[in-house]
Structure 1
Amino acid sequence: MTDPVIDLRGVTRRYDDGPPALHDVSLTVKPGDSVAVLGPSGSGKSTLLNLIAGLDRPDEGTVTVAGTRVETLGEAASARFRRAHIGLVFQFFNLLDDLTVLDNVLLPAQLAGGSRKQAHDRATGLLHSLGIARHADAYPGRLSGGERQRVAVARALVNRPALLLADEPTGALDTASGDDVRRLLNDLHDSGQTIVLVTHDLRLAEACATRTVAMRDGRAEEER
């Protein structure tokens, strides 16, 4: 039996004396799953994503990603783990404007070490497969929103992560660019990439997700 990519058990996270941001959440994501996490602002979606990514730690429960208990890792070890196993895509791209498109994509591979040639080949291959190779030497500020999000996805995939986490990946895009990103994420899922995406975009969830988790008041409810 294949081990899950994500296994959360009884996870609770509190930030103050009020109700917990997450309360007793358990979630399993298998290899090849594409899971959309839906819910209103303040429902716990971003907290859930941050715990999976090792950017935050639970007060109770365990968070296992790719076989590693990420809540037990120190800050440096957590950063190394993310570089090796998790690709992150954000609503506002988080690209470095003073680096070219190619250099933005290469950056995680350079931080991880390893062969420069292999990293360069992987990065250029991703730019070709995502249809943005012609922009390799351009700077992000000269690209459209949809093109910048494709660069962000290429950067997230350059280290061949077991898991792709996407936080509102269409939230800052116009309709046409959002449609491009929906098709891209759907293609990635069809290729076998495991994806968890936090979104308000119901069209994105319907297009890309095989499962939907609804967050309400810090609790997770599987919808399908």
Structure 2
Amino acid sequence: MTAPVIELRGVTRRYDDGPPALHDVSLTVMPGEAVAVLGPSGSGKSTLLHLIAGLDRPDAGTVTVDGVRVDRLGEAGSALHRRARVGMVFQFFHLLDDLTVTENVALPARLAGTARRAAEARAAELLERLGIDRHARALPSRLSGGERQRVAVARALMNRPALLLADEPTGALDSAAGEDVGALLAALHAEGRTLVVVTHDPALARSCAHRTVRITDGRITEDGPARLPSPSGTAGTLPPAAAGEVR
């Protein structure tokens, strides 16, 4: 029987003295699923993603990712786990402005001990596949928002993770760039990655996920199939600039 990639059981997370950000949440994600987590601001959806990534710890319950109890890991163990098994994409890119695009993408591999030449060769491959190799020597500040998010996706794929987590990946983009990133995420899932996307945008959820989990006031209030995009949508197909399998 196939084991879940993600399994949360009875998870509660509370900050200060206010109501819990998450209350008694249980969630299972199987290998190869594409799940969109929807909810208004403050609903707890980003807290959920941070717990899965090991960036936060629950006050109660268990969080297991790829067979590892991440809620039991210390800071160093969590960092190693993310580096080896999880790719992360953030709303505001989190690129280092004093490093070139290639250096930003290669950074996870360099931190994992990969030799510079091998890391930069892998980065060059990803930048070409994502259609942004012409910016390899540029600083992130010279790129558009959509291009910077592509760099962030390339960095997330650097160590070939099977699980990709995205936290509001189109929140800082205009609508055209947002649609482009949504199509890219859908294509990455179509290649076999497990994908969890936190978003407030139902259109993004429809474009890249087959399952929708809705969170309201820290509780899961809906969990079921997402509505499929229209036949004219681009879900599952890399945008022309990024054609080619990305591994």
The residue correspondences of 1:148-159 to structure 2 (distance < 5 A) are 148-159=148-159
Q: Secondary structure at the match of 1:214?
A: strand
Q: How does 1:102-181 map to 2 (within 5 A)?
A: 102-181=102-181
- The correspondence of residues 1-224 of structure 1 with structure 2, limited to 5 A, is 1-220=1-220, 221-224=222-225
Q: Percent sequence identity over matched residues?
A: 73
Cα deviation 1:133-158 (Å, max 9, x = unaligned): 11111111111110000000000110
Secondary structure of the residue that 1:19 maps to in structure 2? coil
Distance 2:155 2:17 in 1: 38
Partner Cα distance (2:106, 2:114) in 1? 12
Q: Distance in 2 between matches of 1:117 and 1:32?
A: 32
How many Å apart are 1:6 and its aligned residue?
0.4
Structure 2 gaps, min length 5: 226-247
Relative contact order, higher structure (CA 8 A, sep 6+):
1
Give yes or no for contact 1:145–1:172 (8 Å, CA) kept in 2. yes
Q: Distance in 1 between matches of 2:55 and 2:89?
A: 14
For 1:96 and 1:3, the matched residues in 2 are separated by 36
* AA of the residue aligned to 2:64: T
Q: Distance between the aligned counterparts of 1:189 and 1:117, measured in 2?
A: 28
Report if the CA contact (8 A) 1:11-1:60 is conserved: yes
Match of 2:223, as an amino acid?
A: E
Amino acid corresponding to residue 223 of structure 1 in structure 2: G
Residue 115 of structure 1 deviates from its aligned partner by 4.1
Alpha-carbon distance in 2 for matches of 1:115, 1:95: 21
Give distance in 2, aligned partners of 1:85 and 1:204: 24
Normalising by the residue count of structure 2, what TM-score does the alignment of the two structures yield? 0.88
Native 8 Å contact 2:145 2:177 kept in 1: yes
SS of 2:26 mapped into structure 1: strand
Give 1:193 shift: 1.1
Structure-2 separation of matches of 1:35 and 1:122:
28
Letter matched to residue 147 of structure 2: E
Distance 2:117 2:134 in 1: 20
1:4 Cα deviation from its structure 2 partner: 1.2
Contact 2:38 2:213 in 1 (8 A): yes
- Alpha-carbon distance in 2 for matches of 1:49, 1:74: 17
Question: Could you tell me how far apart the structure 2 residues matched to 1:63 and 1:115 are?
Answer: 33
Q: Is the 8 A contact 2:45 2:198 kept in 1?
A: yes
Counterpart residue type for residue 59 of structure 2: D
Q: 1:14: Cα distance to partner?
A: 1.1
AA of the residue aligned to 1:150: R
Helix, strand or coil at the partner of 1:56: coil
Letter in 2 for 1:195: L
Once residues 206 and 62 of structure 2 are traced to their aligned partners in structure 1, the CA distance between those partners, rounded to angstroms, is 29
Give the CA deviation at 1:17.
2.7
Q: How many pairs align?
A: 224
Work out whether residues 103 and 120 of structure 2, in 8 Å CA contact, stay in contact via their aligned partners in 1.
Answer: no
Q: Partner amino acid for 2:109?
A: A
Q: Is the 8 A contact 1:214 1:223 kept in 2?
A: no
